[in-house]
């Protein structure tokens, strides 16, 4: 057994008989299916990376009471220094997919780390529920599990409350006995569920009194009886080759609707039960929401750096880098990416002590979230603007290079001062895969919505900003003069 979990172990753990559907059929083994196998291997590669002797210290730590090291994502940082060390491990993982795997295992680990810091929230719902959560955290940590989550309901009739939706649409409790509860209905978009070990179920959207049947939180193995995973279209399956689609052919982490077809949840896997307010508190009164979105910003900082690299190479490919207007656009691009990195450093450095742990500055995290969900589509737009037709005037596929007549024409027409024609085509195909393909388009949607629609993220920002300090400055100014003074002055 290696010092920590490796890729082979992860692949083996996914051969568990889970029920995944694609194109009308049951998928079978996700590690072998042509729609998923490369992405699943990219997930396994994360564990191989951490298990390499030269990376063990960077990537892993030994939890108390464990005889094996696990990824640093499970570490609850006790100081700023530990937080930075942890972040470097997360950035190293994100770099392996250039930030395109949004729900890599460190996302849920971060959420649970933050939730574990607020165990009292679970205690309010009962000592047994708090014990179930603490035990699960321990189990998931020691086994270095890859978890996904479903915490959002299908949109259905958005103008109605969740409890008013059609029966069996939103996942809810339909039965209870001495062994546990039974859940029926759906949650939307479990990203990475095809490559995760377990799914964490909760409610991020507010519930109200009367919606107790919906108000639960639990974790289930992906092969739980009755758990049906309805995959969206696989971009990996439609990738032409690694040369044509170097990103979507390997990093399509997948998104899937989860349908709970009378799934049994044992009591020891039930963390909250029949308590609408506790479902809110699980994320917002603990550090769960803070840590999961802090992880997202860590991952995004890598992805935006990759986009900056794309933008720069693009201008080199078509020879525009030194044009003053293009240089200005690149400078603006770099400033925005630099700003995101600065916000990341800021939320760590201006974090605070929460009990014995160091936690990110919540408002800075929400600021970054609001700004980056708008920034990502803008940066993609800038790359398109810099590119012109270069992203489209490309050979139909790598096979064109195999035809000597076509290769000769490609070599002439893809001329560039800074790149050989073959390299230029290779680069431009990667750029299109990242920003223009169906996969690239899904990423725009992801960055705009993974943390909630804008009215939701702005709401978090509104609630966590120090308005008192801001309005205090305004009132301070107003207090430095008054009407009577002015009137006296005028009368004199
Ligand atoms: C690629 C992708 C991956 C995802 N992965 C996951 C995952 O792994 N796990 C998971 O649980 N969820 C996941 N999600 C779901 C994600 O969290 C939600 O999409 C997000 O929270 C927004 O909720 P919604 O889709 O219901 O949109 P809505 O909240 O319905 O918002 C859509 C739009 O409707 C309008 N609108 C709706 N309600 C209001 C209102 N009250 N006031 C004003 N305007 C309103 C706004 O224009 C808004 O932009 C994923 C989503 C995407 C796109």
**pLDDT tens sequence across 25-45:** 999 999 999 999 999 999 999
Question: Which of these ranges, 28-32, 416-420, 423-427, has the smallest mean pLDDT?
Answer: 416-420
Burial (0-12, 13-18, 19+ Cβ within 10 Å), 233? middle
Interhelix angle 324-349/80-95, nearest 10 degrees:
140
pLDDT over 90 at 2, yes or no: no
At 83-127, the pLDDT tens digits run 999 999 999 999 999 999 999 999 999 999 999 999 999 999 999
Q: What is the largest CA-CA distance in the chain?
A: 95
> Which H helix or E strand runs over 217?
strand 216-221
Token pair 């729609």: residue = 35
pTM: 0.96
Give yes or no for residue 450 CB within 6 A of ligand 1.
Answer: yes
pLDDT of residue 491: 73
pLDDT of residue 314: 97
Position in ligand 1 atom list of the atom nearest CA 448: 53
Give yes or no for residue 185 CB within 6 A of ligand 1.
Answer: no
Three-class SS state of 432? helix
Residue nearest to atom 48 of ligand 1 (CA): 453
- Give me the percent of the chain exceeding a pLDDT of 70: 100
Give yes or no for residue 283 CB within 6 A of ligand 1.
Answer: no
Question: Which of these ranges, 17-31, 150-164, 325-339, has the smallest mean pLDDT?
Answer: 150-164
Distance of alpha carbon 402 from alpha carbon 398, whole angstroms: 8
At 288-304, the pLDDT tens digits run 999 999 999 999 999 99
Give the residue among 313, 304, 311 at the shortest CA–CA distance from 447.
304
pLDDT of residue 191: 97
pLDDT of residue 69: 97
Give yes or no for residue 189 CB within 6 A of ligand 1.
Answer: yes
Distance of alpha carbon 193 from alpha carbon 231, whole angstroms: 9
Task: Tell me how crowded residue 118 is: count the other CB atoms within 10 A of its CB.
Answer: 20
CA distances from 62 to 43, 73, 182, 327, 359 (A): 21, 12, 36, 47, 20
Burial (0-12, 13-18, 19+ Cβ within 10 Å), 37? middle
pLDDT of residue 489: 82
Q: Which residues pair with 19 in a beta bridge?
A: 228
Alpha helices in 126-215 (DSSP H): 127-142
Across 14-35, average pLDDT:
97
Across 247-259, average pLDDT:
97
Give yes or no for residue 152 CB within 6 A of ligand 1.
Answer: yes
Task: Tell me how crowded residue 378 is: count the other CB atoms within 10 A of its CB.
Answer: 11
pLDDT over 80 at 240, yes or no: yes
Query: With bands split at pLDDT 50, 70 and 90, how would you rate the model's confidence at 370?
Result: very high
Query: With bands split at pLDDT 50, 70 and 90, how would you rate the model's confidence at 151?
Result: very high
Give yes or no for residue 452 CB within 6 A of ligand 1.
Answer: yes
Three-class SS state of 19? strand
Residue nearest to atom 22 of ligand 1 (CA): 452
Whats the size of the chain, residue-wise?
Answer: 492
Across 274-294, average pLDDT:
97
């Amino acid at each position: 057994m290696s010092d920590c979990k490796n890729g082979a172990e992860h692949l083996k753990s996914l051969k568990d008989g889970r029920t995944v559907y694609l194109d009308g059929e049951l998928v079978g083994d996700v590690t072998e299916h042509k729609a998923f196998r490369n992405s699943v291997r990219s997930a396994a590669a994360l564990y191989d990376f951490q298990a390499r002797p030269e990376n063990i210290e960077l990537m892993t730590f030994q939890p108390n009471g464990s005889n094996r090291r696990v990824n640093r994502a499970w570490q609850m940082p006790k100081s700023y220094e530990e937080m930075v060390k942890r972040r470097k491990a997360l950035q190293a993982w994100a770099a392996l997919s250039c930030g395109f795997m949004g729900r890599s295992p460190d996302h849920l680990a971060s959420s649970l780390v933050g939730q574990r810091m607020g165990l009292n929230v679970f205690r309010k719902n009962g000592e047994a529920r708090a014990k179930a959560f603490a035990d699960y955290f321990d189990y998931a940590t020691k086994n270095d599990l890859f978890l996904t989550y479903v915490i959002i309901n299908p949109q259905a009739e958005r103008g109605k409350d969740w409890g008013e939706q059609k029966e069996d649409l939103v996942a809810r409790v339909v039965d209870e006995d001495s062994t546990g509860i039974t859940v029926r209905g759906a949650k939307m978009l479990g990203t990475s569920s095809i490559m995760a070990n377990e799914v964490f179920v909760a409610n991020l959207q507010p519930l109200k009194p009367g919606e107790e049947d919906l108000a639960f939180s639990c974790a289930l193995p992906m092969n739980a009886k009755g758990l049906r995973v309805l995959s969206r279209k696989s971009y990996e399956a439609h990738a032409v080759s690694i040369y044509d689609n170097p990103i979507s052919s390997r990093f399509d982490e997948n998104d899937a609707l989860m349908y709970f077809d009378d799934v049994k949840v044992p009591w020891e896997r039930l963390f909250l039960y029949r308590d609408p307010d506790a479902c809110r508190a699980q994320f917002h009164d603990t550090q769960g929401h803070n840590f999961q979105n802090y992880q997202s910003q860590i991952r995004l900082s890598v992805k935006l750096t990759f986009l900056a690299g794309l933008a720069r190479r693009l201008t080199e490919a078509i020879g525009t880098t030194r044009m003053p207007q293009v240089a200005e656009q690149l400078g603006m691009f770099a400033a925005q990416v630099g700003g995101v990195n600065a916000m990341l450093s800021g939320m760590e450095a201006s974090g605070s002590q929460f009990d014995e742990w160091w936690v990110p500055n919540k408002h800075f995290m929400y600021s970054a979230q609001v700004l980056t969900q708008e920034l990502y589509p803008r940066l993609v737009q800038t790359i398109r603007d810099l590119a012109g037709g270069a992203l489209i005037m490309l050979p139909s596929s790598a096979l064109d290079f195999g035809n000597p007549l076509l290769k000769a024409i490609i070599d002439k027409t893809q001329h560039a001062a800074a790149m050989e024609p073959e390299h230029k085509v290779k680069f431009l195909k990667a750029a299109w895969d990242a920003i223009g393909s169906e996969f690239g388009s899904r990423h725009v949607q992801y960055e705009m919505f993974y943390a909630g629609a804008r009215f939701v993220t702005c709401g978090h920002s509104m609630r966590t900003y120090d308005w008192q300090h801001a309005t205090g400055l305004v009132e301070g100014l107003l207090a430095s003069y008054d009407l009577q003074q002015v009137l006296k002055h005028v009368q004199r």
